[in-house]
């Protein structure tokens, strides 16, 4: 009663009491824990991935990797962070100071903002996790870092940096389109499943709800072991089984969006020194480095949510549904572990591809985006819609549509691999044709001239005793 009288007579007392009740509320505590988890994960993930990349590349190339700093070289990345923090921050004379100084922050900010709509567990999620336009938000965030790259290239007053920034702009704009179209197949699946028993009544573009669509196929059986494992965890209904080619295309576009090999033309050291990062040093260079590995985790996290069931795993749904503080805590820790495991597994594929594939040429990079990925993603949307009308439209059960879609999807994966192989061979032959012709002109007159096929020398048998140059 006394507090009410004081509040009525003093507006500041009312404001402070409401502020204090908000600070000590459970929702505010959840926000603080989730924010610290997300921010800490983004900052430490780059250090972990750098060490993992060095070790995995060394293992793939039959060498040791970092050895001397810390036990088994585990502190090498920590030492690198300390070195970068202590390095001198050099400013280029004649540069655009404002753009030069702000570009690392513009490049890094979308990485942290993207995790606002990607919960780490049922409890560790920021208020943006329920954003109804979550995929649109992610696409918008992925488009901002190209602005930071262009600012770095323009503000450095360096031709190599400028070319690297322009390359990155062209590359990221080109691969943004098939990346968005790869989402459409997933959104169509949520619309198809909506209204089914146990599913929401409408489709969605929210990553958290897309994850739930992939894990609602289990109905409690009363058998404790089975309910513990499969409640909220149904890997046989994950969307990568029905749209495998879209997972591959999204992941390919993720490689291009993050400027990773074989799409690392914006920072190609052979012709551009270090591209848009050439004039940066110390902490500002580290922010670009941190942003690159942060984008790797973002691309892997989105792939996990859309195709691999998000943070779902055995025991998560069962434990968090008990209404107990202890078991809920254990369930959230399990969910966090599953989610991070999926992220780092997909990041391992990033590293594997870097150790396997050489860098593409600029014409191959653009041809791959506009002439291969774009038509395939558009065809996937058309085929998915046609299969739905052919099966469900004539009264067949929904599982028939999903089975046929999965069969067509996996067949298209093998067709995609064959197509990429043929295109790679053709473009390589055309690129090598001038050099082959020069070698042919340098041969002796006694060597027969090979026949030409489509303007490219074909393989012919040489006379006995002769040897190819």
Q: Has residue 448 got a pLDDT over 70? A: no
Q: Tokens 């549509």 belong to which residue?
A: 401
Position 251 scores a pLDDT of 92
Mean pLDDT across 423-441 = 79
Q: Has residue 468 got a pLDDT over 60? A: no
DSSP string, 293-326: HHHHHHHHHHHHHHHS-TT--TTHHHHHTT--HH
Contact 457, 447 (CB under 8 A): no
Q: Has residue 358 got a pLDDT over 80? A: yes
Q: Could you tell me which of 280, 309, 300 has the C-alpha nearest to residue 216?
A: 309
Q: How many CB atoms lie within 10 A of CB 282?
A: 15
DSSP string, 84-136: HHHS-----TTS-HHHHHHHHHHHHHHHHHHGGGS-SSSSS--GGGG-TTHHH
Q: Of residues 100 and 329, which shows the higher confidence score?
A: 329
Write the pLDDT tens digit of every residue in 136-149.
999 888 888 888 88
Question: Could you give the CA distance from residue 266 to residue 262 in angstroms, rounded to a whole number?
Answer: 11
Q: Which residues pair with 456 in a beta bridge?
A: 453
Q: Has residue 5 got a pLDDT over 60? A: no
Q: Of residues 92 and 16, which shows the higher confidence score?
A: 92
Position 444 scores a pLDDT of 55
**Tokens coding 453:** 């096929």
Q: Has residue 22 got a pLDDT over 80? A: no
Q: Has residue 347 got a pLDDT over 60? A: yes
Q: Could you tell me which of 105, 131, 73, 36 has the C-alpha nearest to residue 290?
A: 105
Q: Of residues 245 and 103, which shows the higher confidence score?
A: 245
Contact 10, 2 (CB under 8 A): no
Position 270 scores a pLDDT of 65
Q: Has residue 151 got a pLDDT over 80? A: yes
Q: Tokens 């594997």 belong to which residue?
A: 352
Q: Has residue 453 got a pLDDT over 80? A: no
178 confidence band (pLDDT: 50, 70, 90): very high
Mean pLDDT across 91-104 = 80
Q: Has residue 6 got a pLDDT over 50? A: no
Indicate the pTM of the whole model. 0.86
Position 209 scores a pLDDT of 92
Mean pLDDT of the chain: 84
**Tokens coding 414:** 């093998």
Contact 331, 319 (CB under 8 A): yes
Cis peptide preceding 262, ω within 30 of 0: yes
Position 3 scores a pLDDT of 46
Cβ neighbours of residue 359 closer than 8 Å, sequence gap 6 or more: 261, 262, 263, 264, 265, 268
Mean pLDDT across 56-81 = 86
């Amino acid at each position: 009663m006394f507090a009410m009288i004081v509040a009525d007579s003093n507006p500041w007392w009312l404001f402070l009491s409401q502020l204090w009740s908000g600070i000590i509320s459970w929702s505010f505590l959840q926000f603080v824990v989730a924010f610290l988890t997300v921010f800490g994960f983004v900052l430490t993930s780059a250090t972990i991935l750098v060490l993992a990349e060095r070790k995995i590349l060394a293992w793939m190339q039959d060498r040791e990797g970092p050895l001397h700093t810390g036990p088994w070289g585990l502190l090498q990345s920590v030492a690198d962070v300390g070195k970068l923090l202590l390095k001198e921050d050099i400013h280029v004379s004649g540069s655009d100071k404002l753009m030069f100084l702000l570009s690392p922050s513009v490049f890094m900010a979308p990485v942290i903002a993207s995790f606002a709509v990607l919960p780490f567990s049922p409890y560790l999620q920021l208020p943006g996790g329920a954003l109804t336009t979550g995929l649109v938000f992610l696409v918008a965030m992925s488009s901002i870092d190209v602005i930071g790259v262009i600012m770095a290239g323009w503000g450095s007053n360096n031709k190599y940096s400028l070319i690297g920034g322009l390359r990155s702009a062209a590359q990221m704009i080109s691969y943004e389109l098939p990346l968005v179209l790869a989402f459409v197949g997933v959104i169509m699946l949520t619309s198809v499943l909506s209204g089914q028993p146990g599913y929401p009544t409408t489709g969605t573009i929210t990553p958290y709800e897309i994850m739930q669509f992939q894990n609602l196929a289990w109905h409690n059986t009363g058998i404790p072991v089975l309910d513990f494992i499969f409640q909220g965890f149904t890997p046989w209904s994950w969307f990568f089984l029905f749209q495998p080619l879209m997972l591959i295309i999204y992941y390919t576009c993720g490689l291009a969006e993050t400027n990773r090999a074989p799409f690392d033309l914006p920072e190609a050291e052979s012709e551009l020194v270090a591209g848009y990062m050439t004039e940066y040093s110390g902490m500002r260079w580290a922010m670009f480095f941190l942003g690159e590995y942060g984008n790797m985790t973002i691309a892997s996290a989105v792939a996990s949510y859309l195709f691999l069931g998000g943070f779902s795993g055995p025991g998560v749904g069962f434990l968090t549904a008990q209404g107990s503080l202890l078991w809920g805590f254990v369930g959230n820790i399990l969910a966090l572990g599953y989610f991070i495991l999926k992220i780092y597994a997909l990041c391992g594929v990033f590293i594997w591809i870097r150790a396997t594939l050489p860098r593409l040429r600029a014409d191959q990079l653009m041809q791959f985006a506009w002439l291969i990925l774009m038509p395939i993603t558009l065809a996937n949307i058309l085929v998915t819609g046609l299969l739905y009308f052919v099966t469900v439209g004539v009264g067949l059960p929904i599982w028939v549509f999903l089975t046929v879609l999965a069969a067509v999807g996996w067949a298209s994966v093998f067709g995609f691999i064959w197509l990429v192989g043929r295109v790679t061979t053709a473009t390589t032959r055309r690129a090598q044709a001038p050099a082959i012709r020069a070698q042919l002109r340098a041969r002796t007159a006694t060597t027969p001239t090979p026949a030409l096929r489509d303007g490219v020398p074909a393989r012919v048998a040489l006379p006995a005793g002769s040897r190819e140059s």
